[in-house]
């Protein structure tokens, strides 16, 4: 991908946007080139934020950080780790599944609202975003929110930009909260449940007082591709506990005992537990060097297994479940089958399917995002018109 603009300051970025808007040209916004890779927008020029880089401020006591949008996530995580803190929403590293070598950026994370396994207990990326600075489609610099958790000024605007995939504005700076890094982790592994049984077991466990921070189900088809095949035999329903070492050990013991009535149980200690959830976060089974279509589907936790079962009757699929079954990572063996997937999702009460990976030909023929209902699409269009009246940002990405 050829990059035409690499501004080194917010002022320079605003000047570029104004010049592009005056020509009514179209501009593709990228960070590390990791997000939205399947959406090939027809732009006249590409603007990268990678030189808008650096941590602006960090207050460990207040658990807040501000960083320029092109700052690599790895740089932020390294600084946080030194102070035993973390990005609690666990943003994934998509390089494995996309076959890319760039650097994920913090602006890209919030622009795509990237949220990992801990979303069940800690919320999504947008829930941790406190403030933003961005350039709108007319080249004006806008600030919303603040640098402290109690400041909710402009909260709706902050939430609106998170997950907008660069269609409303160019993020230049983000302020977000961080949380303490758990001293210990353990994972209870419940074996031999089928997908439906696992959905029921996870629902029951999440209602128990054990403070489970993440719950996933790894069917037999993928189980051997986690931890180098070291998980116990059979489908694995995995339940993560985090916190102080003593409390994690005690909770793991009690949770294992409670789960033993449903099937064989094992407990992964700290090192193996952390590694397993990194692999779940980064969708390790499907980092296979192929272009086979890969979907990320959000659906009701009780409906995920029903969706997969219905699809298996119609086409070749492989899948595993995160977010207590509410996120389905679905790899197709042949065509993306977008119409089939979305028809079944609608029949099961609704949800959202996003195409994460596919060949160039498949991308050209397949809508990346779930089509919006007419009323929602009309509202989205009005919002975009206010932020980007000439439609210069990431044209066509959301609609």
151 domain-assigned: yes
DSSP of 240-272: EEEESHHHHHHHHHHHHHHHTTTS-EEEE-HHH
Same domain, 53 and 147: yes
- The pTM of this model reads 0.94
Please say which residue of 157, 180, 203 terminates a domain.
180
Q: What is the pLDDT of residues 120-149, one digit of tens each?
A: 999 999 999 999 999 999 999 999 876 544
| DSSP secondary structure string for all residues of 4-66 | -B--SSHHHHHHHHHHHHHTT--EEEESSS-TTTT-----SEEEE-TTS-SEEEEETTTTEEE
In a domain, 385, yes or no: no
pLDDT of residue 209: 95
Domain annotation covers residue 263: yes
d(CA 110, CA 348): 29
> What confidence tens digit (pLDDT) does each residue in 157-208 have?
898 999 999 999 999 999 999 999 999 999 999 999 999 999 999 999 999 9
83: domain CATH number is 3.30.465.10
User: CATH no. for residue 315?
Assistant: 3.30.70.100
Instruction: Please tell me whether residue 326 adopts helix, strand or coil conformation.
Output: coil
Task: Clarify whether residues 149 and 204 are in a common domain.
Answer: no
Asked which of 180, 198, 217 is the last residue of a domain, the reply is: 180
56 in Cβ contact with 173 (< 8 Å): yes
Same domain? For 103 and 208 the reply is no
Here the tokens at position 153 are: 């000024």
User: CB–CB of 70/76 below 8 Å?
Assistant: no
Specify if 29 maps to a domain: yes
For the chain, percent of residues with pLDDT exceeding 70:
94
Q: Are residues 17 and 39 in the same domain?
A: yes
Per the structure, how many domains does the chain have? Answer: 3
- The verdict on residue 376 lying in a domain is no
14 and 82 part of one domain: yes
Asked which of 162, 180, 198 is the last residue of a domain, the reply is 180
Q: Looking at the structure, do residues 176 and 198 belong to the same domain, yes or no?
A: no
Judgement on whether residues 150 and 83 belong to the same structural domain of the protein: yes
Domain hosting 15: range is 10-180
Start-to-end CA distance of the chain, whole Å, equals: 22
382 belongs to a structural domain: no
pLDDT of residue 155: 44
């Amino acid at each position: 991908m050829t990059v035409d603009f690499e501004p080194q300051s917010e002022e320079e970025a605003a000047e570029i946007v104004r010049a592009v808007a005056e020509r009514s040209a179209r501009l593709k916004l990228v960070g590390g080139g990791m997000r939205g890779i399947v959406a090939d927008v027809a732009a006249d020029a590409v603007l990268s934020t990678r030189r808008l880089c650096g941590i602006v401020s960090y207050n460990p006591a207040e658990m807040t950080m501000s960083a320029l949008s092109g700052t690599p996530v790895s740089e932020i995580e390294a600084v946080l780790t030194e102070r035993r803190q973390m990005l609690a929403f666990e943003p994934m590293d998509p390089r494995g599944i996309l076959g890319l070598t760039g650097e994920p950026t913090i602006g890209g994370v919030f622009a795509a609202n990237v949220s990992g396994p801990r979303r069940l207990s800690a919320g999504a990326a947008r829930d941790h975003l406190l403030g933003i600075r961005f350039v709108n489609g007319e080249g004006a610099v806008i600030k919303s929110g603040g640098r402290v958790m109690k400041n909710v000024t402009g909260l709706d605007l902050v939430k609106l930009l998170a997950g907008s995939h660069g269609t409303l504005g160019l993020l230049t700076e983000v302020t977000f909260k961080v949380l303490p890094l758990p001293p210990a982790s353990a994972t209870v592994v419940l074996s031999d449940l089928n997908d439906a049984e696992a959905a029921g077991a996870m629902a029951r466990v999440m209602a128990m007082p054990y403070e489970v921070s993440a719950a996933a189900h790894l069917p037999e088809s993928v189980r051997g591709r986690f931890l180098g095949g070291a998980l116990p035999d059979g489908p694995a329903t995995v339940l993560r506990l985090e916190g102080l070492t003593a409390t994690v050990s005690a909770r793991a013991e009690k949770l294992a005992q409670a789960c033993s009535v449903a099937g064989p149980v094992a407990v992964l200690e700290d090192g193996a537990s952390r590694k397993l959830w990194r692999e779940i976060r980064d969708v390790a089974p499907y980092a296979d060097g192929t272009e086979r279509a890969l979907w990320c589907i959000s659906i009701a936790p009780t409906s995920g297994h029903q969706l997969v079962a219905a699809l298996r009757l119609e086409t070749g699929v492989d899948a595993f479940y995160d977010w207590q079954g509410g996120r389905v990572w679905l790899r197709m063996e042949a065509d993306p089958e977008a119409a089939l997937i979305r028809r079944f999702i609608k029949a099961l009460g609704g949800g959202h399917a996003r195409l994460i990976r596919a060949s160039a030909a498949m991308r050209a023929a397949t809508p990346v995002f779930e089509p919006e209902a007419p009323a929602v699409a009309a509202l989205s269009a009005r919002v975009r018109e206010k932020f980007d009246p000439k439609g210069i940002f990431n044209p066509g990405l959301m609609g």
